[in-house]
């Protein structure tokens, strides 16, 4: 509960401060009383709804038509409505920030995400890439999975900077002529 309160209490404090400042400025302005009568309650209502909207938006998926390109896959979940697959919620890492996306259901995307899930469970890091189908087949996905295997993620060992293993040079003995 402390994590939630650390997010909500500052939002409520900012909301009250902004609402009070707006009301003060409106009352001091030279607007007609009719405008003041309309705008003061709207300002108070807006400042009261700000924390409610903030609380509602915490943790909800970002609606998107397409997923961001070159993002690292973490997990996915299908959303059903009345027994039909309607949306896919995908958790991705994009530029070191994690984000939950909600996209319309797509059979090809589901297939790509199943491949990414299997690869992730096998220890690989799966990147989701955009691409157009190579053929007009409906089975091919507009999304493709690019795998970063665990050994590809490690820094190269000494002497293997370019991917070729080299033996260290042995020092020549000084007494041999």
pLDDT digits (tens, 9 = 90+) for 26-51: 778 888 888 878 877 887 787 778 77
Q: Answer whether 0.75 is exceeded by the pTM.
A: no
Confidence of residue 139 (pLDDT cuts 50, 70, 90): very low
Q: How far is CA 146 from CA 78, 96, 128, 132, 142, in A?
A: 22, 18, 6, 15, 13
Sign (positive or negative) of CA dihedral 98, 99, 105, 106: negative
For residue 175, the tally of other CB atoms under 10 A from its CB is: 5
Structure tokens at 131: 């691409």
The per-residue pLDDT for 11 is 74
Structure tokens at 124: 């690989």
The per-residue pLDDT for 76 is 92
Tens-digit pLDDT profile for residues 87-129? 999 998 887 788 888 888 888 889 888 988 988 888 888 888 8
Structure tokens at 85: 């697959």
């Amino acid at each position: 509960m402390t994590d939630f309160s650390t997010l909500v209490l500052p939002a409520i404090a900012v909301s009250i401060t902004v609402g009070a400042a707006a009301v003060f400025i409106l009352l001091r302005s030279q607007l007609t009383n009719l405008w003041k009568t309309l705008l003061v309650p709207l300002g108070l209502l807006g400042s009261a709804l700000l924390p409610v909207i903030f609380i509602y938006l915490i943790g909800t998926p970002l609606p998107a038509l397409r997923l961001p390109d070159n993002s690292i896959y973490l997990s996915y979940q299908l959303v059903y409505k009345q027994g039909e697959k309607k949306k896919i919620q995908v958790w991705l890492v994009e530029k070191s920030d994690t984000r939950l996306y909600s996209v319309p259901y797509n059979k090809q995307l589901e297939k790509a995400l199943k491949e990414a899930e299997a690869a992730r469970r096998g220890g690989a890091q799966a990147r989701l890439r955009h691409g157009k189908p190579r053929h007009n087949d409906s089975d091919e996905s507009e999304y493709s999975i690019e795998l970063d295997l665990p050994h590809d993620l490690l820094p190269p060992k000494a002497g293997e900077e370019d991917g070729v293993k080299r033996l260290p040079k042995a020092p020549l003995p000084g007494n041999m002529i």
